[in-house]
Chain A
Amino acid sequence: MIDSEQPKTPRRNFIKEAMTGVASVAGFMAGAWWLSGGKAQAKSSALRPPGALDEDDFLATCIRCGRCADACPNRAITAFTKESGKDLSLKPGPGERGTPVIFPRRQACMLCNGVPGDDLLCTAACPSGALTLTKKFVESIREHVNMGTAEIDENLCYSYQGSSCGVCIRACPLEGIALKAGLWERPILDPEECVGCGLCERACIRYPQAIHITPRA
């Protein structure tokens, strides 16, 4: 009925089938590897959402579903593709395509401040465990969230250059803990306490930003 042709020589047929099978599997695997960003040379060192596992574990665990990006009320989290990082000239590194990233210059993580719910919404949405569930309390955030650390360039910062600004200090969700105001509104950073949300970088009125986030290693 459906088998119009019975194989006349079973062995030759088997070899043919095995060859098409192996060829297509090899093709699809190579395609998947290429799509994942496999040929990229350098790691991107991008900022990951709050509660993320260590970078290697994170890349292995994340299933690239994009649910954290959908959950983010501030639209800070985006899927990392060539297009999404284009205007910041950031490219996904090997295996990073489709993983969630935060570009603090565009939109920073506000640690779900002012949004209903007890958890950071992205960590509650994550189905894979790549983002550890984090409560929206200062203690929990300080324990689980380590996206990166802010760095201040004193040569660029207005407060260190004779004017007084202090915008980054007002923007910091851990004001007085991570970022303290010094003389003439100079930001004084405690790298141990900084969670790397990027709100200071987002708020900085200087361009290029005098304060910027270095993603954790």
Chain B
Amino acid sequence: MKWSFKIRKLQVFRRSIQISVVAFMFLVPIVARYTNYLASRELDEALTKWEGSPQGATLATVDDCIRSLPGTEKERVGKIIRDRKGCLEKAQFIRGGPWSAQIGSVSVTDPLAASESIAASRSVHWVLVISVALPLLITIIFGRVFCSWICPVGFLLEMSDKFRGLLKFLELRPFDVQFPRSTKYILLFTGLIASFWLMSPLLGYIYPPAILGREAHDYVFAFFDRAESGQAGMGWDGLSVMSGFLLGIVIFEQTVARRWWCRVVCPGGGLYSLLGVFRLTRIRRRAASCTSCGDCVRDCPMGLAPMRDEMGIECDNCGVCLSVCGDDALHYRVTKPSDFKKVEPMVV
């Protein structure tokens, strides 16, 4: 096609997005709790009562940040005070987590959540269609970018994957068993059929981003509940057995199979892959520049081989191969849906 581009610092940009998603996952419940105190006119009481404790400091910081925005303060008898209505409006800007969120007036929902809900309820609600439109559009244009650019669990597992180097340093050679990648599609379809049959959305219970979002939310809420019930400091309450499940995935990936969840099991990743079959943005290799050094194959988080053009629908457009390529052979390209089959196989 006509244009292609390559950004050297693309990975820095990707990391910043991933880190901010993780930060927002904790920040949003804190602001939700702030809104609760504000709505029930308990905020000033809480601020004075919890002064000096981590909860009080957190609330005070959020309060300062929100009051620094325009339209959140008013003057009454010569004193600047908080404008409750304005603060409430500002504090409700972002809600939700990786599973479903509201940013401004835009609602975004994971396509997996939507497909499950549609399968289970056997009906289509307009709210859900509107909510899933933006993620669908992004997936159709950019492919499976949720996994590599947004998913907080993808980020967690990418980070934990780096610790395999430490295991190797300790001469504990971890396995790397190649499990069949088709598992995720089978799990996706089994899950949807089971949801339809049992009339209850099931995959959300084992979908790690949804779990992590819930755990973060519950942890933050329990953090404030501690202060309300007069317990001091921080604790582990709010975390459920599902944190153990996530930890189990991390340990399994460290010892048995690299990036096992994202490559092999994740039903959401499977759905994003399928939705991104005809994605417009693809990674293309210029064979003339490629020296077949294999750096991209070594570093690909999904375990694909850009060097041999073996990417297909599994590629999540993370761009690691672009950044690692020393020969300037890999690029993002805008392609027609029709000409992708000519170059690469669909499934690896």
- Interface flags, B181-218, vs A, CB<8A=1, else 0: 01100110011001000111111111000100010011
Across the interface, which residues of B come within 8 angstroms of A31, CB to CB?
205-206
Across the interface, which residues of A come within 8 angstroms of B242, CB to CB?
35
Known: A28-B265, A61-B123, A63-B204. 14 other contacts (CB 8 A): A17-B182, A29-B194, A63-B116, A65-B100, A71-B92, A73-B35, A94-B200, A97-B205, A98-B205, A127-B127, A127-B131, A128-B117, A128-B127, A128-B131
Across the interface, which residues of B come within 8 angstroms of A71, CB to CB?
92, 95
Q: Cβ of B51 < 8 Å from any Cβ of A?
A: no
Partner-B contacts on A (CB < 8 A): 1-3, 17-18, 20-22, 24-25, 28-29, 31-33, 35-36, 38, 56-57, 59-67, 70-71, 73-75, 79, 81, 83, 94-95, 97-98, 115-116, 125-130, 133
For this complex, into which size category does the number of interface residues on chain B fall? 35 or more
In whole angstroms, how far apart are the Cα atoms of A195 and B306 in the complex?
60
Q: From DSSP, what is the main secondary structure of chain B's interface residues? A: helix
B297 pairs with A1, CB closer than 8 A: yes
A63 pairs with B198, CB closer than 8 A: no
In whole angstroms, how far apart are the Cα atoms of A79 and B29 in the complex?
14
A95 pairs with B109, CB closer than 8 A: no
A16 to chain B, nearest CB (A): 9
Q: Which 8 A-B pairs have the closest CB atoms?
A: A129-B125, A95-B200, A73-B39, A65-B100, A60-B121, A60-B120, A35-B205, A17-B180
Partner-A contacts on B (CB < 8 A): 28-29, 32, 35-36, 39-40, 85, 88-89, 92, 95-97, 99-102, 107, 109, 113-114, 116-117, 120-123, 125-128, 131, 178-180, 182-183, 186-187, 190-191, 194, 198-206, 210, 214, 217-218, 240, 242, 265, 294, 297-298, 303, 305, 307
In whole angstroms, how far apart are the Cα atoms of A57 and B40 in the complex?
32
In whole angstroms, how far apart are the Cα atoms of A60 and B294 in the complex?
48
Q: From DSSP, what is the main secondary structure of chain A's interface residues? A: loop
In whole angstroms, how far apart are the Cα atoms of A65 and B217 in the complex?
11
B258 to chain A, nearest CB (A): 9
Q: Which among A32, A130, A133 has the highest number of chain B CB atoms within 10 Å? A: A32
A32 pairs with B202, CB closer than 8 A: yes
Across the interface, which residues of B come within 8 angstroms of A1, CB to CB?
294, 297-298, 305, 307
